[in-house]
């Protein structure tokens, strides 16, 4: 906990997100003066060049995203720059924080916060899903200018994994300013007893018309180009000779209709599912595949591992080499290399003992190393460290 007499830690985030709420609840238990401010109650990607976000239909996770910690929605989308600036000044003057934690740097709100904190000599902590992979040429040029400007005013960086650490060090950020952490989810939500898991597996497969002896390869994600869901079609065709293999696609987006055109009885396009339904699908499956062009992390892997499922991911995913250890908790392959992806999938299709062994190792790793508590501890350490700067 923070030393007695210090001000609270204030957290500023874009909108309620299912992965972050458990962290905020954990932080509130250790820092009772904590308060979370959301810019808005939803994210409008159309306004901020997030061409992927505006292609996705509204999603309802059916989770209590704002329960268990003090929070407030500022509704900044209704503000002009001057009004939001005044709002932030009032918050910082009223709450007198010892530090502020900012998620991301790409919105006007992030920059207003940064400069307001700098003027008041309030340390800034930063969590960003950032590494060098994945930007277009124009965005790389913009980032090359904006990142040093923003990051030079950050007291502590909370790194979500090894690629994130490498990214910060490549920008010459001193290692003493980088607080290692491991990106996390609420693993307790996904854990079921053996009896519950068996029931979930049976019922979910029954609903999809998948036999008990079938092998299910699962994709979960937004259905747009960067996620490469069409690679799953090629994978399915490559494995089609094995009559036990089923492919299940979960998610929505612009490629959904194209995927639905695939005419094969063992290729299932399930659409968007809320968190509980997703959990059932993990337990109904035998392997998760993440074929993305890049992922800043890939929290679906954390979820799958919490359910005892191994994963095959591309080498440009943040989890590759961290949570996904090649040959132990899953496999890593080069983006777009369907032949190599298929070879890894065959190992799990043909050797169910291997899949079970990898799944057990995956489960143990995510539970012991990638839990909410360690991430909360990292934030608390960074907060205390920023005050002793």
pLDDT tens digits for 208-217? 999 999 999 9
- Does the structure show a pLDDT above 80 at 388? no
pLDDT at 344: 97
- Give the predicted TM-score (pTM) of the model: 0.91
- Mean pLDDT, the chain, rounded, equals 91
Q: How distant is the alpha carbon of residue 389 from its chain centre?
A: 30
Give residue 45's pLDDT. Answer: 53
Residue 131 has pLDDT above 90, yes or no: no
pLDDT at 55: 52
Q: Residue 3 burial by CB count (10 A; 0-12/13-18/19+): exposed, middle or buried?
A: exposed
Q: What is the pLDDT of residue 386?
A: 82
Tell me: pLDDT of 242 over 90: no
Q: Residue 136: pLDDT above 90?
A: no
The pair of structure tokens assigned to 138 is 């124009």
Average pLDDT over residues 267-280: 94
> What class is the 187-369 domain?
alpha beta
Give the other-Cβ count within 10 Å of 241's Cβ.
7
Phi and psi dihedrals of 335, rounded to 5? -55, 130
**Mean pLDDT within 161-184:** 95
Q: What is the mean pLDDT of residues 113-139?
A: 82
Domain ranges of the chain: 9-184+371-387, 187-369
Query: How many CB atoms are located within 10 Å of the residue 263 CB?
Result: 6
Query: Counting runs of H as helices and runs of E as strands, what totals does the chain give?
Result: 14, 13
User: Matching CATH topology for 9-184+371-387 and 187-369?
Assistant: yes
The upper half-sphere exposure of residue 3, i.e. CA atoms within 13 Å in the direction of its Cβ, equals 8
The domain 9-184+371-387 belongs to what CATH superfamily? Glycogen Phosphorylase B; (3.40.50.2000)
């Amino acid at each position: 906990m923070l030393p007695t007499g210090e001000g609270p830690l204030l957290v500023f985030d874009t909108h309620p997100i299912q992965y972050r709420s458990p962290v905020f609840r954990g932080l509130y238990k250790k820092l009772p003066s904590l308060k979370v401010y959301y810019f808005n109650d939803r994210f409008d990607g159309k306004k901020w060049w997030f061409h992927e976000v505006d292609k996705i239909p509204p999603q309802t996770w059916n989770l209590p995203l704002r329960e268990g910690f003090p929070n407030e929605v500022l509704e900044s989308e209704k503000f002009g720059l001057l009004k939001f600036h005044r709002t932030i000044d009032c918050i910082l003057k009223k709450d007198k924080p010892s530090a502020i934690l900012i998620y991301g740097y790409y919105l006007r709100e992030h920059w207003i916060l940064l400069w307001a904190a700098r003027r008041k000599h309030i340390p800034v902590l930063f969590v960003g899903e950032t590494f060098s992979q994945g930007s277009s040429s124009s965005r790389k040029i913009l980032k090359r200018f904006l990142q040093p400007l923003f990051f030079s005013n950050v007291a502590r960086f909370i790194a979500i994994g090894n690629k994130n650490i490498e990214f910060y060090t490549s920008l010459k950020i001193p290692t003493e300013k980088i607080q290692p952490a491991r990106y996390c989810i609420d693993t307790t939500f996904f854990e079921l007893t053996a009896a519950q898991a068996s029931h979930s597996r049976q019922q979910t497969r029954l609903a999809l018309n998948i036999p008990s002896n079938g092998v299910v390869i699962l994709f979960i994600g937004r259905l747009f180009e960067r996620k490469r869901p069409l690679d799953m079609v090629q994978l399915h065709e490559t494995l089609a000779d094995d009559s036990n293999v089923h492919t299940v696609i979960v998610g929505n987006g612009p490629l959904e209709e194209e995927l639905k055109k695939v005419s094969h009885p063992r290729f299932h396009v399930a659409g968007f599912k809320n968190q509980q339904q997703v959990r059932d699908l993990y337990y109904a499956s035998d392997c998760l595949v993440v074929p993305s062009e890049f992922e800043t992390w890939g929290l679906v892997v954390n979820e799958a591992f919490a359910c005892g499922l191994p994963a095959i991911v591309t080498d440009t995913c943040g989890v590759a080499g961290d949570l996904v250890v090649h040959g132990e908790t899953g496999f890593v392959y080069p983006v777009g290399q369907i032949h190599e992806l298929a070879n890894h999938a065959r190992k799990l299709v043909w050797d169910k003992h291997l899949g079970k062994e990898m799944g057990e190792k995956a489960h143990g790793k995510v539970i012991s190393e990638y839990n909410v508590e360690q991430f909360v501890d990292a934030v608390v350490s960074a907060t205390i460290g920023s005050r002793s700067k």
